[in-house]
């Protein structure tokens, strides 16, 4: 592989790690990686990758991960105190 | 989730009061039929203490060479008498506790009074908030304790009435991000039935008091009762349910304080404190409760408060005084109890509520660091000691708290005065006419016999309660077994007494320093407490070297003055000289483990661990094991980032906010998290868009950059896991 392919390798590695951290199911992750590799092969064949193309491909990786990954609130919605309605009461300051 | 607060009526009330709904509970004025008995008990103890002190003062006058004729000797007698009152009061309180326990408990005590109703299931519960105010605490331990408390609550089947709150005042994002994630993990594990809310205060006004006031101000009206816990507190489900039922049964009670027992000791020092607390604590607590009755003090944790009157009457303003008696009230709990009583509600200490636990500081130095904060807080109570509209019982409680630290200063002064008295004798000609205009000479004469008698009597008062507690255990088969048998109890008591003799002069010197520091208004920082670390030799030497030098100088001077005085000084000088190695040895976790393996200093909770303690030890890891800081993890890890973005405040995008965001994100990306201040990191985490932007940017960062390396570190950890 030539030096021109190094950004592509980094992108594929990064995508794999991102899918792992998002707990994306294996079949979807490998399918997405296959798709990514194909697109990279096409772009490299046309003359190389620029930063804008890398960013666009990375965005699609993130979108896949968000869509199929175990998002933090997907199963158990994190409960914030903001969910508990306020019932305002005053603290009466004691006379010392 | 808004919970409908159930109507609840107490099953029995001593007065014709009823509780119809939250916020409109039975209101004062109440009758307090126990007051006459309280006054009688306190008067008897007072007379005994005063008689004993008078006798001791008389003996001291006999001991001193001029028999009190000189100003120096008058000062010695005054200081000694004040100290003796303190020691005598402790003795009689313990004896009172022993007598009460012999009779099966104080019949006025809520647990005893309502024993029949509490044995069944007839008393309805109502909505109760259990709050954990935290500030830079060990996240794993705090949340594991919360989890254990919840699990034990589920065993009672009454968990539907309880809601948990983690009220964080933590400033460091690396800590409060962990807190938030740990809460999420707990909710993931325990499911929807587990009601846990996490709140972090943006503005840290008035420390813990302000933290709880903030919670009450916004959500207090949801809950009839609020149970306050410390970061190291755990309580059994039965204890929680029992406390709510007692509050339901007696609408006069504004605060009900349990007597927490120490558990979970790891270091040698903590084991000794735990053993002493468990064995002797019952006597002292029972005695204290029998004397205070419905005018007891509140210790700020492991206690349940009636929310509505607390909100109405116990908000604490700043003190208007000067120096250290100015500003926010540090030790707020005693004052809140006084305010509650002033409003007409009762405050009870109930030593019969079992299943209430907390932990000891792991090292002597941590305890002393905690005492530094408490000393100032207690000395602030001088404002109330001489204030108006303070009941005698609460005035005594304030005095008791102040003396907890001033007694050490008085002891120090006593040693100085005695040294000066002897030095006068040895170094200067004897004054046969100490009193002016006296026709007859005074022949100064030390009386060693009386001196020894007085010293032995004082030692008796100090150690008799411990021996009494030991005998009480030894003569009960059930309790003897609970402590591991007779040999274990006796050896434990001997070891504890030896260590307490070693530690007393160290505490004396430290407390004297804190009292003087407070009186001269040196700044005190109220940082989070160390609950888990051993102390290093370097820290121990730094902390205790000045005391060792002082002790060596004093002992040397004593030897030069008179060898007999030198021997008398040794019980104080030797512990100070050995303070550093003793501190390191006691703080060692290995020492604690060795003791545990040899079954030394066993407590009932170690012989038969309660379920809540087992749950604490079996808690899963709630804090990620990672080389990244919590902030870095929140930026890099996709799921963690998504979680914190969802938790971030939703604020308007003003031009200023956008500018701030761009600037901080740029700085963070360029230089890493370490280049940002606490405030900057907190700002970023609180801004969802900034956190999201950072996340996107770090994954596009060069592999050799700061953030590229972070991403790489995280991915390697995931692979290893």
Task: Report d(CA B350, CA B112) in Å as an integer.
Answer: 9
Domain membership of residue B555 (yes or no) is yes
pLDDT score for B34? 92
Q: B658: part of which helix (H) or strand (E)? A: helix B655-671
3-state secondary structure at position B703: coil
Q: Answer whether B250's CB lies under 8 Å from B166's CB.
A: no
Q: Tell me how far apart the alpha carbons of residues B257 and B304 are, in angstroms, rounded to a whole number.
A: 7
Entry pTM: 0.88
Query: How far is residue A80's CA from residue B42's CA, in Å, rounded to a whole number?
Result: 49
From residue B220, alpha-carbon distances to B183, B227, B248, B313, B315 in Å are: 21, 11, 18, 14, 13
Asked if residue B140 and residue B265 are part of one domain, the reply reads yes
CB–CB of B562/B606 below 8 Å? no
What's the per-residue H, E or C state across B320-377?
Answer: ECCCCCEECCCCHHHHHHHHHHHCCCEEEEECCCCCEEECCCCCHHHHHHHHHHHHHH
Contact flag B197-A84 (C-beta cutoff 8 Å):
yes
B120 shares a domain with B95? no
Predicted pLDDT at A51: 84
Query: Tell me, what DSSP letter sits at residue A30?
Result: H
Query: Of B337, B360, B383, which closes a domain?
Result: B360
Query: What is the residue whose two structure tokens read 């009292």?
Result: B515
- B618-665: pLDDT as tens digits: 999 998 888 899 999 999 999 899 889 988 877 788 999 999 999 999
User: Residue B329: which residues within 8 A CB-CB, separation 6 or more?
Assistant: B209, B316, B318, B319, B335, B377, B380
Last residue of a domain, one of B577, B611, B645: B611
CATH of the domain at B192: 3.90.550.10
Predicted local confidence at residue B10, as pLDDT: 31
The single residue listed with the structure tokens 């009330």 is: B13
Of the candidates A4, A21, A47, the one whose C-alpha atom is nearest the C-alpha of residue B699 is A21
Residues in chain B within 8 Å Cβ distance of A86: 218-219
- Residue recorded with tokens 């868009």: B689
Q: What token pair was written down for B403?
A: 């003396």
Distance between first and last Cα of chain B: 37
d(CA B544, CA B614): 37
Give the gap in angstroms from C-alpha B283 to the nearest C-alpha of chain A: 33
Residue spans per domain, chain A: 23-68
Cβ neighbours of residue A81 closer than 8 Å, sequence gap 6 or more: B165, B197, B198, B199, B219
Interface test with A, best of B638, B699, B704, B718 (most A CBs within 10 A): B638
d(CA B548, CA B554): 10
Cis peptide before A8 (omega within 30 of 0): no
B311/B200 same-domain check:
yes
CA distance B75 to B420: 12
Q: pLDDT by residue (tens digit) across B343-371? A: 999 999 999 999 999 999 988 888 998 99
Cα separation, B332 vs B358, whole angstroms: 19
B299 and B230 together in one domain:
yes
Residue B159's Cα: distance from chain center in Å? 27
Spell out which residues of chain B touch residue A70, defining contact as CB-CB under 8 Å. 639
B586 lies in the same domain as B510: yes
- Return the SS3 of B261: strand
Q: Using CB atoms, pick whichever of A70, A78, A95 lies closest to residue B184.
A: A78
Would the CB atoms of A91 and B213 count as touching at under 8 Å? yes
Measured between beta carbons, the chain A residues lying within 8 angstroms of B640 are 72
Confidence category of residue A6, pLDDT binned at 50, 70, 90 = confident
Mean per-residue pLDDT, A37-49: 87
**What Rg do the C-alpha atoms of chain B give, in angstroms?**
28
Containing H/E element for B227?
strand B225-228
Tell me how far apart the alpha carbons of residues B571 and B565 are, in angstroms, rounded to a whole number: 11
Nearest to A87 among B221, B700, B711 (CB): B221
Q: Which of A23, A76, A89 is facing B216, going by the closest CB pair?
A: A89
ω into B67 cis (within 30 of 0): no
Q: Both B645 and B586 in a single domain?
A: no
Residue with tokens 């005042």: B169
CA–CA separation, B110 and B244 (whole Å) = 12
Domain assignment present for B189: yes
Neighbours of B390 (CB within 10 A): 21
ipTM of the complex: 0.82
Check residue B467 and give its pLDDT.
94
Contact B219 A71 (CB under 8 A): no
Residue with tokens 């012989």: B607
User: Cα(B10)–Cα(B24) distance, rounded to whole angstroms?
Assistant: 14
Residue B387, domain member (yes or no): no
Helices within chain A (DSSP H only): 6-21, 26-45, 51-68
DSSP string, B149-214: HHHHHHHHT-GGGEEEEEEE----HHHHHHHHHHHHHHHHHH-TTS-EEEEE-SS-TTHHHHHHHH
CA distance B712 to B636: 10
* B530 and B603 together in one domain: yes
- Helix or strand (DSSP H, E) at B313: helix B307-313
Contacts of A57 in chain B (CB under 8 A): none
Q: Specify if B331 maps to a domain.
A: no
Same-domain pairing of B308 and B189: yes
> Considering the domain boundaries, does residue B326 fall inside one?
no
Domain tally for chain B? 3
- Contacts of residue A64, defined as CB under 8 A and 6 or more positions apart, other chains included, come to A19, A24, A28, A32
Under 8 Å between Cβ of B189 and B646: no
Measured between CA atoms, the residue of chain B closest to residue A11 is B700
Radius of gyration of chain A (CA): 23
Taking the C-alpha atoms of residue B476 and residue B151, their distance in angstroms, rounded to an integer, is 32
Is B271 a member of any domain? yes
Residues B261, B164, single domain; the answer is yes
Query: Is there a single domain that holds both residue B186 and residue B276?
Result: yes
Positions in chain B short of pLDDT 50: 1-24, 524-528
Confidence (pLDDT) at B151: 96
**Interstrand relation of B128-134 and B225-228 (parallel, antiparallel or unpaired):** parallel
Q: Which pLDDT does position B8 carry in this prediction?
A: 31
Match 């008062």 to its residue by tokens.
B461
Are β-strands B234-235 and B356-358 bridged in parallel, bridged antiparallel, or unpaired? antiparallel
| Chain A environment of B646 (Cβ under 8 Å) | 72-73, 78
- Report the alpha-carbon distance of residue B336 to residue B205 in Å, rounded: 17
How many whole angstroms separate alpha carbon B89 and alpha carbon B84? 8
Q: Which domain holds residue B219?
A: 110-318+346-360
Enumerate residues 6+ apart whose C-beta is below 8 A from B542: none
Residue B9 near residue B18, CB atoms below 8 Å: yes
> Could you tell me if B556 and B673 lie in one domain?
no
Are B266 and B323 within 8 A, CB to CB? Answer: no
Q: Which two tokens stand for residue B240?
A: 């929680």
Cα B25 to Cα B311: distance, rounded to the nearest angstrom: 13
Q: What is the mean pLDDT of residues A58-74?
A: 78
Q: What is the pLDDT of residue A5?
A: 81
Distance from the Cα of A74 to chain B's closest Cα (Å) equals 10
Residue B14 lies in a domain: no
Name which of A10, A21, A95 is nearest B639 (Cβ-Cβ): A21
Residues of A with CB under 8 A from a CB of B: 10, 14, 17-18, 20-23, 54-55, 58, 62, 65-66, 69-73, 75-76, 78-81, 83-96
From chain B, pick out residues whose CB is under 8 angstroms from the CB of A81: 165, 197-199, 219
Is the Cβ–Cβ distance between B390 and B338 less than 8 Å?
Answer: yes
pLDDT score at B323: 83
Q: B667 and B529 in one domain?
A: no
Residue B620 inside a domain? The answer is no
Residues in chain B: 721
H-only helix segments in B16-170: 35-63, 71-102, 110-113, 115-119, 139-156
* Closest by Cβ to B639, choosing from A10, A71, A93: A71
């Amino acid at each position: 592989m030539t030096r021109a392919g190094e950004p592509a390798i980094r992108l594929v590695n990064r995508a794999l790690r991102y899918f792992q951290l998002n707990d994306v199911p294996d079949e979807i992750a490998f399918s997405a990686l296959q798709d990514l590799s194909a697109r990279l092969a096409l772009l490299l064949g046309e003359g190389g990758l620029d930063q804008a193309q890398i960013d666009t491909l990375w965005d699609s990786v993130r979108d896949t991960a968000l869509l199929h990954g175990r998002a933090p609130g997907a199963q158990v919605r994190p409960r914030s105190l903001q969910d508990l309605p306020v019932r305002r009461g005053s603290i009466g300051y004691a006379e010392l | 989730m808004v919970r409908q607060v159930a109507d609840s009526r107490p099953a029995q009330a001593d007065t014709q009061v009823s509780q119809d709904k939250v916020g409109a509970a039975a209101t004062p004025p109440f009758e307090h039929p126990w007051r006459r008995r309280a006054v009688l008990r306190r008067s008897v103890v007072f007379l005994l203490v005063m008689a004993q002190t008078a006798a001791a003062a008389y003996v001291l006058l006999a001991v001193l060479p001029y028999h009190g004729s000189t100003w120096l000797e008058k000062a010695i007698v005054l200081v000694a008498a004040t100290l003796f009152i303190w020691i005598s009061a402790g003795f009689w309180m313990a004896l009172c506790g022993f007598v009460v326990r012999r009779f099966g408990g104080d019949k006025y005590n809520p647990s005893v009074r309502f024993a029949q109703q509490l044995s069944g299931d007839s008393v309805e519960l109502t909505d109760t908030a259990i709050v954990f105010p935290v500030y830079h605490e060990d996240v794993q331990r705090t949340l594991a304790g919360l989890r254990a408390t919840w699990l034990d609550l589920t065993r009672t089947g009454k968990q539907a009435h309880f809601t948990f709150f983690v009220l964080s005042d933590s400033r460091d994002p690396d800590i409060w991000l962990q807190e938030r994630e740990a809460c999420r993990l707990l909710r993931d594990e325990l499911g929807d039935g587990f009601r846990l809310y996490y709140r972090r205060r943006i503005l840290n006004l008035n420390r813990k008091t302000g933290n709880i006031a903030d919670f009450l101000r916004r959500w207090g009206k949801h809950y009839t009762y609020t149970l306050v816990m410390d970061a190291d507190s755990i309580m059994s489900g039965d204890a929680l349910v029992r406390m709510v039922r007692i509050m339901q049964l007696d609408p006069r009670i504004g605060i009900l304080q349990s007597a927490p027992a120490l558990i979970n000791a790891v270091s040698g020092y903590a084991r000794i404190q735990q053993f002493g607390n468990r064995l002797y604590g019952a006597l002292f607590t029972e005695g204290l409760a029998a004397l205070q009755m419905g005018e007891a003090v509140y210790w700020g944790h492991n206690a349940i408060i009636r929310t509505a009157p607390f909100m109405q009457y116990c908000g604490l303003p700043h003190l208007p005084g000067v120096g250290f008696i100015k500003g926010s009230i540090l030790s707020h709990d005693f004052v809140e109890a006084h305010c509650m009583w002033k409003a007409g509600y009762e405050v009870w200490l109930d030593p019969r509520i079992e299943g209430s636990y907390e932990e000891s500081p792991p090292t002597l130095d941590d305890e002393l660091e905690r005492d530094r904060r408490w000393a100032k807080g207690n000395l602030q109570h001088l404002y109330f000691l001489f204030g108006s509209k303070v009941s005698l019982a609460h005035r005594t409680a304030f005095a008791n708290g102040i003396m907890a630290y001033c007694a050490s200063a008085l002891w120090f002064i006593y040693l100085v005065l005695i040294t000066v008295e002897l030095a006068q004798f040895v170094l200067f000609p004897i004054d046969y006419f100490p009193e002016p205009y006296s026709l007859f000479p005074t022949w100064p004469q030390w009386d060693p016999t009386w001196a020894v008698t007085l010293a032995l009597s004082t030692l008796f008062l100090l150690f008799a309660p411990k021996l009494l507690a030991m005998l009480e255990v030894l003569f009960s088969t059930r309790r003897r077994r609970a402590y591991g048998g007779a040999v274990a109890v006796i050896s434990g008591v001997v070891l504890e007494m030896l260590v307490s003799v070693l530690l007393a002069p160290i505490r004396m010197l430290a407390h004297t320093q804190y009292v003087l520091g407070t009186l001269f208004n040196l700044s005190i920082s109220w940082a989070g407490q160390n609950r888990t670390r051993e102390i290093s030799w370097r820290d121990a030497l730094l902390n205790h070297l000045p005391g060792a030098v002082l002790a060596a100088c004093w002992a040397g001077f004593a030897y030069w003055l008179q060898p007999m005085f030198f021997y008398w000084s040794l019980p104080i000088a030797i512990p100070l000289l050995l303070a550093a190695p003793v501190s390191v040895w006691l703080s060692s976790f290995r020492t604690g483990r060795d003791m545990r393996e040899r079954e030394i200093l066993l407590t009932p909770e170690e012989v038969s661990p309660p379920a809540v303690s087992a749950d604490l030890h079996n808690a899963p890891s709630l804090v990620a094991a990672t080389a990244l800081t919590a902030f870095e993890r929140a930026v890099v890890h996709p799921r963690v980032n998504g979680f914190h973005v969802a938790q971030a405040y939703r604020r308007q995008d003003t031009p200023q906010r956008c500018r701030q965001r761009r600037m901080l994100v740029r700085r963070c990306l360029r230089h890493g998290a370490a280049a940002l201040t606490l405030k900057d990191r907190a700002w970023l985490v609180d801004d969802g868009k900034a956190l999201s932007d950072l996340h996107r940017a770090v994954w596009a960062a060069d592999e050799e950059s700061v953030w590229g390396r972070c991403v790489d570190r995280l991915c390697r950890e995931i692979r290893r896991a």
